[in-house]
Amino acid sequence: MKVPAGSRHFTVVRNIAPGLRWRLFVLNDADAETDLPEEVARTVWEAAETSYVREFVADLRKIMATAVRS
């Protein structure tokens, strides 16, 4: 993917379960802040996630919960 001038890729990370993280890659202004408060990072995640990501994360949580109980 070609990055527009003045922009760059950023990674938004969410802890799905202990030891399991999901990363979304987004575009933003090249000089955007990277050390965000948790509530702002959550808002960015929610704006960037798709229905596929929501469903996949829910499935991963179920799998991890089952694995922990086993």
* pLDDT tens column, 44-62: 999 999 999 999 999 988 8
- Residue 17 maps to a domain: yes
Q: What does the block give as tokens for 17? A: 């379960």
pLDDT above 70 covers a percentage of the chain that reads: 96
Q: How many domains does the chain have?
A: 1
**Predicted local distance difference test score (pLDDT) of residue 65:** 84
- Residue 11 maps to a domain: yes
**Predicted local distance difference test score (pLDDT) of residue 31:** 95
* Beta-sheet strands, E only, within 1-70: 7-17, 20-29
pLDDT-based confidence at residue 69 (cuts at 50, 70, 90): low
- Residue 48 maps to a domain: yes
Q: Give the residue numbers spanning the domain of 12.
A: 7-69
